[in-house]
Structure formats: C-alpha cells, structure tokens
Amino acid sequence: MIGRLRGQLVGREGTHVIVDCGGVGYEVVCSGHTLGALPPLDELVTLLVFTHAQENKVALYGFLTEAERRLFDHLITVKNVGPSTAIGILSGGADPRGIAELIAREDTAGLTRIKGVGKKTAEMLVVELREKCELLLLSWTASGEPRPVGLPAAARKAPVRHPMLDEVLAALVGMGWKPAQAEAAVADLAVSPEITLETLLRQALRAMPR
C-alpha cells in the first residue's frame, strides 16, 4: 500500500494530479482544499496517500496536510461514505477544521450546505463522528496543525484551577469561541476522579452557544 508520495508535480486535470516519482507517474485524486494549495507544475510536492484497492482498479487519494488525511480517515468509516464521497465533503468545506467543527457542534444544517451531503448523511456524520471530531479539534491549532504544549494568553490569566479545565478552555478558544464564552462554560464543569478530558470537552461543547 502506498502511504506517501514525494516527487515532481507534472500534471493536473480536474481533481486528478500526476506526481512523477523516479520516472513513474502516479495519478492521485485530491480534494479542492489540497488542489488549491499545490505548488506550480514541475515543482516538488509531498502528498500523504490513501490507497483504495478494488477488484478491478487501484485509486490513490492524496492530501497535503495530516489534518485533512486524519479527517478523511474518519469520514470513510461512516456508512455509505466512500473515498470519493469523502473527497467531495472535503472539497465542499472551507477547510478540514471547519468541517470537523460542524460535526462536533452537531450542525447538520451546515453540513447539508456542502454539495452532495443530504440530511441523512449529515445526521450519520454527526452520530458516528461527533466525538472523534471533538478529539481532533482538541489536538489541532486554529490552522489545523498539532497543538503545541501551552495555553493561550487568555487561559494563562485565568484563576488557578484543575489543569484539565485549562486544557478544555484552551481547546474552546482554539476552536473559535471568545475567551469569555469559554470561561463561562468551563466555570460550570466539575472535575471528578474518574472523569476524562474528552468527557469534559463534550460537556463544555454542549453548553456553548450555537
């Protein structure tokens, strides 16, 4: 299975690009998000690749960022969402983070505004991926990069509290909510010995304004 390609970008047509690796040209399907960030033809490019092997063909799907690849991997686990549909969903949203936020917030109306996503599919995405997308967002910065160790200024100025609540606050601010809104949601959370960070984040998200 091919997991990564690094080579010269020698062609692109529609959603397909060709990457020349040592004289072999690999045809790769990309989302609109990745296509818009590709370098000019004849320059080097590195793509993270998902290999979809079927009885009569093998298709490669490429991604420039780890964030998009991880979200794609989650999308294709949903019933009736294959690789082509997942690429369409990734192409229809502003960016992977924006799509993950729609799912985490249970915003089925926002999901149905993505071309090719009907009400039933939107509901399935929320039911099956809400918690997974919450965890993705917890681990990403606003740009979709892995979250660095440390908290935003707003969190550092907050009163001393349980470290897990600081982590939840930082995640909410990173997801786009105002610090004051995040502070209000975190203030209502109770930390028990058995509670997890993921549970606290879910509780906070339910309290956030929609």
pLDDT of 149 over the 60 cut: no
pLDDT over 70 percentage in the chain:
89
Predicted pLDDT at 155 = 42
Give start and end residues of each alpha helix (H) in 93-208: 96-104, 108-112, 119-139, 153-156, 163-174, 179-187, 197-207
Both structure tokens of 7: 């080579």
pLDDT of 94 over the 90 cut: no
Domains (ranges, CATH) in the chain? 4-63 (2.40.50.140), 66-139 (1.10.150.20), 153-207 (1.10.8)
Q: Which is higher by pLDDT, 94 or 156?
A: 94
Q: Which amino acid is at 144?
A: G
Q: Which amino acid is at 86?
A: A
Q: For residue range 11-26, list pLDDT tens digits in order.
A: 999 999 999 999 999 9
pLDDT tier, 154 (very low <50, low <70, confident <90, very high otherwise): very low
| Separation between Cα atoms, residue 46 and residue 144, nearest integer Å | 18
| Separation between Cα atoms, residue 69 and residue 125, nearest integer Å | 17
